[in-house]
Structure 1
Amino acid sequence: MDSTSVAAPLPAAPHGRRGSARVLPGFGLALGYTLVYLSLIVLIPLSALLLKTFSMSWAQFWEAVTAPRVLASYRLTFGASLIAALVNAVFGLLVAWVLVRYRFPGKKFVDALVDLPFALPTAVAGIALSALLAGNGWIGQYLEPLGIKIAFTPAGVVVALIFIGLPFVVRTVQPVLEEAEKELEEAAMCLGATRLQTFMRVIMPTIAPALVTGFALAFARAIGEYGSVIFIAGNMPMISEITPLIIIGKLEQYDYAGATAVASVMLGISFLLLLVINGLQAWQRRRSGGLS
C-alpha cells in the first residue's frame, strides 16, 4: 500500500444507535431495576411500618405517641442530635480544612483516624466513652470534682452523637475544599479583602452546599443512633432516655403497635427535617450559581 492511500472507514453504527455504545442497559431497564431495588429496600419496609400503625385507633395512637415519657425522649433525641450536628458542622469543617490545606507529621494517621467511628462497632464506642467519662474514668474522675458530670446525663448523649457524626461532615466537605480554586482566594486578598471577608464571600459559598449535606447526614445518623448512646446515657426515664430505646422497650413488651406508632412519628419528623435541609441546600446552590 502506497503512502497516499487512506485508511478504510470504520463500519457504520447499527441503525438507531448514535455515538459510543452504552455501558449500562437502556434508561427503561435501568429505571426499572432502580425502582424495584428501592421498593424492596425502602418502600416496602416503611409501608409495613405504616400499615401496622393503622391497626390502632386514633385515640390509641395519640396516647402512645404523646405519653410523657415518650415526649421527653423526643426532646432529648432531636435536641441532642441537633446540637451534635451543629458542633460537627463547625469542627468538622475545621478538621477538613486542616487536612486539605496543611502538611504536618502524622497527617495520614489523622486522616485515617477520622474514619474510625465508621468502622468501630457502636457498642464499643459507647463502652469506650463511658470508661473515659464516668466518675471513675480517665477524664471523668477529674471533671466530677469540679461539678461537671457527663456520663449518664443528656450531655453524655451529645458527646456520643458528636463522636459518631463527625466523619459525615469531614468526608463531605473535604473533597470540595480540595477542588476549590485557591486563585480566587489569592485574588480576593490582593484586592484588599481581609481573611474573614475572603472566607465568608469566596470560600463559604463554595463549600456551603457540602457543609449543609454533611450536617444533614450527621443529624440523620444521630437521630437513629442506639448502640453508642445507651451505654453512656444512663437510660433514666424522663431524663436521659432516647426514643430508639423507647421503641426497643415496647418491642420487648410485645407492644408492636405502640412501637410502630412511635417509630412512625420519628419517621415523619425526620423526613420533614431532611426535606427542609434539602430545600435550604437547593436554595444555596441556586444562590451560588446566580452569584457566580
Structure 2
Amino acid sequence: MRRRVLPGLPLSLGITLFYVALIVLLPLGALVFKAASLGFEDYWRIISSDRAVASYRVTVLCALGATAANVVFGMSLAWVLVRYEFPGKRFVDAIVDLPFALPTAVAGIALTALFAQNGWLGSLLAQFGVQVVYTPLGIMVAMFFTSMPFMVRTVQPVLEDLDPALEEAGQSLGGTDWQIFGRVILPLLTPALLAGSSLTFARSLGEFGAIIFIAGNRPMSTEITALLAFIRLEEYNYAGAAAIASVLLITAFVMLALTNYLQARALRYTARN
C-alpha cells in the first residue's frame, strides 16, 4: 500500500470543511442573518434609497472600467514578462505583486499624492484639463492598482504553457502576427482572461482602503458602496450596513457564477477546436 503524505480523506475533508465554515461561511452567514432580520419592505427601502443606488452606480461602473483597463494592460504586462528578456525583468515581475503586500490605505495615500494637482502625474494631467483625485477616475485608478495582479498572475502561467508550435504553424500558413494572435492565441487565453476579469471585478467591488483617500467620498458622486456600509456601521445601524453589504455579496456571487459558466463554455469550445 502506497504511503500518503497527507492524512486520509475523512480527516482531510473534515479539516477543510471546518476551515471553510469558520473563515468563510460563518461571517457570510452572519451577514445574511443580520440582513434577513429586516422585513422585506425595510430591506428594499434601504437598498433602493437614492444614495445607495448612486453608490451602486459609481462602484459598478468604476469596477467595470478598472476591469477593462486590466484586460488590456494586465494581459500586455503578462505578455511582456513571458515573451521578452530585458534588464530588470525580475524586478518588474516582483513589483506586480506589490499591491498584494502593500496596505491598501498606504496605496490610497500614495496614489492621492501622485495624482493630486501638485503631484508628479497630477500636475501633468492638469495641463490637459484632466483631474484624477476626488473624481470617479481616481476610483478607477485605485481599483486598477489593487486588482492588476489578479489579471497578470492568471494570464501569465497560461502564456508560459502555450505550445510555440501553434504559432509556428500559423506563420507557416502565411498568417500575420495579428491573425495568429486573434485566431490562435486569444482563444486559448479566453478562459484565463475570463477568470482574471472576474477576480479583478470582484476585487474592485470590495476595495475600500485605497479608494477612500482618492475618491473624495461625496454622496451621490464619488461615494462607493463599501464606504456607505461603513458609514452605517459608524451610525450603529448594523442591519442597514448588512443590507447594503448583501448587495455587494450578491453581485459578486452572480458575477463569479456567470464567469464560471462562460469559462466552462470557452474551455469546451477550445477543446472541440
Of structures 1 and 2, the larger Rg is shown by 1
Q: 1 CA distance for matches of 2:140 and 2:69?
A: 10
Alignment partner of 1:89 out of 43, 46, 71 = 71
Alignment partner of 2:32 out of 50, 66, 91 = 50
Q: 2 CA distance for matches of 1:120 and 1:215?
A: 21
State the partner residue of 1:241: 223
Instruction: Kindly indicate whether residue 259 of structure 2 is the aligned counterpart of residue 277 of structure 1.
Output: yes
State the partner residue of 2:176: 194
Paired letter, 1:55: S
Paired letter, 1:27: L
How far did 1:25 drift? 2.4
State the partner residue of 1:40: 22
Instruction: Kindly indicate whether residue 201 of structure 2 is the aligned counterpart of residue 219 of structure 1.
Output: yes
How far did 1:182 drift? 0.7
Alignment partner of 2:11 out of 29, 32, 46 = 29
Q: 2 CA distance for matches of 1:196 and 1:288?
A: 19
Offset from partner CA, 1:98-118 (integer Å, 9 cap, x none): 111111111111111111111
Offset from partner CA, 1:162-196 (integer Å, 9 cap, x none): 11111111111111111111111011101111212
State the partner residue of 1:6: none
Q: 2 CA distance for matches of 1:258 and 1:45?
A: 16
Q: 2 CA distance for matches of 1:54 and 1:172?
A: 36
State the partner residue of 2:61: 79
Question: What's the RMSD between the two structures over aligned residues?
Answer: 1.2
Q: Which runs of 5+ in 2 are unaligned?
A: none
State the partner residue of 1:182: 164
State the partner residue of 1:17: none
Q: 1 CA distance for matches of 2:144 and 2:35?
A: 32
Paired letter, 1:23: V
Which has the larger displacement, 22-31 or 85-94? 22-31
TM normalised by structure 1 equals 0.90
How far did 1:52 drift? 0.9
Q: 2 CA distance for matches of 1:219 and 1:213?
A: 10
User: 1:87-236 counterparts in 2 under 5 A?
Assistant: 87-236=69-218
How far did 1:83 drift? 1.2
Q: 1 CA distance for matches of 2:174 and 2:47?
A: 57
Which has the larger displacement, 25-34 or 262-271? 25-34
Provide the identity percentage: 53
Hey, which of these two has a bigger chunk of helix by percent?
A: 2
